[in-house]
Amino acid sequence: MNYEEAAAYIEDIPKFTVKHPVAHTAGLLERLGNPALGRKILHVAGTNGKGSVCSYLDAMLRLGGKTAGMFTSPHLIRINERFVINGQTVSDGDFLAAFEKVLAAVRRYASTKEEHPSYFEFLFLMAMLLFEEADVEYVVLETGLGGRLDATNAVPRPLACMITSISRDHTEYLGETIPEIAAEKAGIIKPGVPVIYDGHNREAASVISQRAEEVGSPAYELLPSMVRREAVSQEGIRFWFCPDGQEQARLQIPYIADYQMMNASLAYYTMKCLNRVHGISDEILAQGIRESHWPCRMETVLPGVIIDGAHNEDGIQQFIRTAAHFAREREITILFSAVSDKKYEEMIRSISEEIRPARVVATRIGGSREVPAETLAEDFRRAGCREVYAQADVAEAFEQAYRMKGDGMLFCVGSLYLAGELKDHISKRAKEEKNAQLRGGTEEI
């Protein structure tokens, strides 16, 4: 089997198996030789910001001279993106080797199709094998969906647990209310293991602190009052992190969204709480925050062009706050798409009313959850946007929006799938431009 066949097999898993309890994952880990044992694991749950927090943690650890593996989801372009070892996405060869080991174990022990690992469970098992093979000291581990029932919760005793901001998303699985969702996320808290959490939502914070008290876990709450913005520009934000009873730190992030201050502070706070374990200086931690990179989260991909993977109610509100700040001085163009199981009508209405973009280009994301570009465009028109275009092809939609933005700013938002397709297109676009320049140089010679 080659890499392409292995990736295709994984993508096909949802068609023939089901989600399993955490005990099922724990059993498979044991059959694989318990590759999680001996690793210092930082376990991250939450609704929004998980990937960003993981990225900050990984950057600080590596800059501090530690070996680190990072497992995140979803991927934007290629499935390998979910596995990062010492700052590098795993190779196709290493991916295939881990796949074959997991598949061999599954075939040895699975007697029915229902026992086959789920899509996410399979990938998690691969991740732990990859990290064992690389012999990393630290593992930064992002939950998939929820926490209590998540495959990653099979890890028996992490070094620390982090819970990012919590809002309503995936309510069909996690519950309708903030306390219900918070309870699912707080399911990753282990007895005696410190938990560091975003406390800006008081309902969620109450549930998390109560759970920590129940199981005897030291709890460290990050409050908005601990974060004070100093300056913001298109290059990023400078701010002060001022935890109670500790020395304040001046931090800088390479992002323009205010919410990233809380994400960076949560990661920094965690590392401060674990200082006796890793021994990394405050200066190196601050440098790691400054040099971190997490794609498609208010990422500037071209001058005046920003991609944001916001795709739920809270994420869109955070996006709006950032875009509205720049709309005071710059003309805003929006490139938008969404999938059918998100509340895209509400997203469109909020963007239209609060940003009032000069123009909108709507496009579509293919697949079973596709929403036609013209349907999205008509929703923008009904919401009061006057200059609205529908272009089904994502690449052509981007080029159209890019031409139209002029001296203003282009924000691409609404779906991580859209973000992934745009990153792929922009990468190909850059290669084509470079090749054209090389051809031009050759002709001149």
Give the other-Cβ count within 10 Å of 235's Cβ.
Answer: 11
Tell which of 291, 318, 341 closes a domain: 291
Which positions ≥6 away from 8 have C-beta within 8 Å? none
C-alpha radius of gyration, the chain, whole number: 22
Q: What are the pLDDT digits (tens) for 79-98?
A: 999 999 999 999 999 999 99
Give the CATH number of the domain where residue 366 resides: 3.90.190.20
Whether 372 maps to a domain, the answer reads yes
pLDDT of residue 445: 45
Whether 110 maps to a domain, the answer reads yes
Which positions ≥6 away from 339 have C-beta within 8 Å? 311, 365, 367, 369, 370, 371, 415, 417
Whether 340 maps to a domain, the answer reads yes
Same structural domain, 251 and 317? no
Judge contact between 43 and 188, C-beta under 8 A.
yes
When pLDDT is cut at 50, 70 and 90, the band that residue 433 belongs to is confident
Alpha-carbon distances, residue 398 vs 140, 261, 302, 410 (angstroms): 34, 29, 12, 9
pLDDT of residue 441: 61
DSSP state letters, 371-407: --HHHHHHHHHHTT-SSEEE-SSHHHHHHHHHHHHTT
Whether 445 maps to a domain, the answer reads no
Q: What are the pLDDT digits (tens) for 305-358?
A: 999 988 777 788 889 988 998 898 899 999 999 999 888 999 999 999 999 999
Same structural domain, 250 and 329? no
pTM: 0.85
Same structural domain, 270 and 304? no
Structure tokens at 210: 């109560």
What average pLDDT does the segment 36-52 reach?
A: 94
When pLDDT is cut at 50, 70 and 90, the band that residue 234 belongs to is confident
Structure tokens at 396: 């052509």
* Residue, of 327 and 42, whose pLDDT is higher: 42
Same structural domain, 286 and 265? yes
Tell which of 261, 291, 321 closes a domain: 291
Whether 265 maps to a domain, the answer reads yes
Distance CA 12, CA 28 (A): 20
Residue corresponding to tokens 């469970």 = 121
Same structural domain, 144 and 9? yes
What average pLDDT does the segment 199-227 reach?
A: 96
Domain interval for residue 364: 299-434
Which positions ≥6 away from 104 have C-beta within 8 Å? none
Percentage with pLDDT > 90 across the chain: 73
Closest CA to 94 of 42, 38, 136: 136
pLDDT at 172 over 80: no
Alpha-carbon distances, residue 343 vs 142, 292, 307, 338 (angstroms): 25, 31, 20, 9
pLDDT of residue 311: 74
What average pLDDT does the segment 17-21 reach?
A: 84
Whether 123 maps to a domain, the answer reads yes
Whether 131 maps to a domain, the answer reads yes
CA dihedral 131, 133, 138, 139 (to 10 degrees): 10
Whether 135 maps to a domain, the answer reads yes
* Largest Cα–Cα separation, the chain: 74
DSSP state letters, 76-91: SS-GGGGEEETTEEPP
Which positions ≥6 away from 420 have C-beta within 8 Å? 75, 76, 77, 296
Alpha-carbon distances, residue 333 vs 85, 207, 322, 367, 395 (angstroms): 37, 40, 14, 26, 16
Judge contact between 259 and 48, C-beta under 8 A.
yes
How many domains is the chain built from? 2
Same structural domain, 265 and 357? no
Same structural domain, 334 and 240? no
Tell which of 271, 291, 311 closes a domain: 291
What average pLDDT does the segment 5-32 reach?
A: 91
Same structural domain, 206 and 346? no
What average pLDDT does the segment 244-254 reach?
A: 89
